[in-house]
Amino acid sequence: MKLIRFRHLGSVHAGVVTSAGIVPVPEINARRGASVPDCPLGIIQSGDTSALADTRDCGVIPFGDVTPLLPYEVPPKIWCIGLNYKSHAADINAVQPEEPGSFMKPASCMMQPDTEIVLPPRDVTDDVDAEGELGVIIGKSCRFVPAENVKDVIFGYTTTLDLTALDVLRKNPRYLTRSKSIDTFFSFGPVIVTADEVADVNGLEVITEHNDGICSRDFVYNMHHRPYELVRYHSDFFTLHPGDLISTGCPKGARIKPGDRVRSRIDGVGTLSARVTQGERHARIG
């Protein structure tokens, strides 16, 4: 099953993606007498997608008639994994850590799918890369998850775009969170694919496209820490909650400038695009 959140005729709904288009959750509820939450985060937190499995005889909205949105705008937690591919560490002259290079990102840095990455003024940063990644969506509250049970706590997968101000990071590795948290420096979705749709997550290929070409591509099985291990490892330190997102790392980021376009693509999961624009310094208070 593929879930999406979208805007149509001024209203925002969750829906199921089918080959014919999008079936809105309110339509399914009306047809089946169900009460499924009308947002992907609520669906994840409910732990039950059974009512969404049958979309026969339901009204379908064509893809071209909707605006895809972030699946939800405030994930409980956003964890990202740095330098999880050897090629990315080599690209920025960094040492690949033995343990997962984990860091958090605030919800304030998120942008909507297929909109704009707004680069900050050049005196803030003048060297930014964009990284297409695989995102893991947690489906159950969990702590100290045994390796053999990790599959049971994953709701699904999505595509992410994670950006870095590399010149800020070069000043001091302790500035990692700052370099990653600038406005419009993260996005995910617009589609979440439930875990049962992905037969072998380690066989997925993670691709970052830059303008008319491919910047990088590599398979999940080449990650230093694969998705199941990332979930198990992080559950040792804190409780994971439904809707938590772990962005698992990029083979190599694309250096971007105004006018560029970047896209994260994972066949079998989805695509996530953004245009690049140059922002200016405008004071805003309130």
Q: Each residue of 254-281: pLDDT tens digit?
A: 999 999 999 999 999 999 999 999 999 9
Q: Which residues contact 1 (CB under 8 A, 6 or more apart)?
A: 16, 49, 52, 53, 193, 194, 196, 197
CA dihedral 162, 173, 95, 120 (to 10 degrees): 30
pLDDT of residue 31: 93
Question: How wide is the angle at C-alpha 256 spanned by C-alphas 250 and 257, nearest 5°?
Answer: 170
Burial class (CB in 10 A: 0-12, 13-18, 19+), 205: middle
Q: Count the alpha carbons within 13 Å of 18 in the hemisphere toward its beta carbon.
A: 19
Decide: 3 and 25 in contact? Cβ < 8 Å.
no
3-state secondary structure 2-55: EEEEEEECCEEEEEEEECCEEEEHHHHHHHHCCCCCCCHHHHHHHCCCHHHCCC
Cis preceding linkage at 113, omega within 30: no
Mind listing the pLDDT tens digit for each residue in 38-88? Answer: 999 999 999 999 999 999 999 999 999 999 999 999 999 999 999 898 776
**Residues 71, 279: Cα–Cα separation, whole Å:** 25
Residue type, 37: P
Whether pLDDT at 95 is above 80? no
pLDDT at 13 over 90: yes
pLDDT band at 286 (very low <50, low <70, confident <90, very high): confident
- Among 69, 218, 210, 77, CA closest to 134: 218
Band (pLDDT 50/70/90 cuts) for residue 91 is low
Q: What order of strands is seen across the sheet that includes strand 261-266?
A: 115-119, 270-278, 261-266, 205-210, 213-219
Distance (Å, whole) CA 91 – CA 253: 8
Distance CA 137, CA 156 (A): 5
Distance CA 48, CA 42 (A): 10
Instruction: Convert the pLDDT of each residue in 133-165 to its tens digit.
Output: 999 999 999 999 999 999 999 999 999 999 999
What structural domains does the chain harbor? 2-69 (no CATH), 78-278 (3.90.850.10)
* Residues 190-221: tens digit of each pLDDT: 999 999 999 999 999 999 999 989 999 999 99
Residue type, position 177, single letter: T
pLDDT at 63: 96
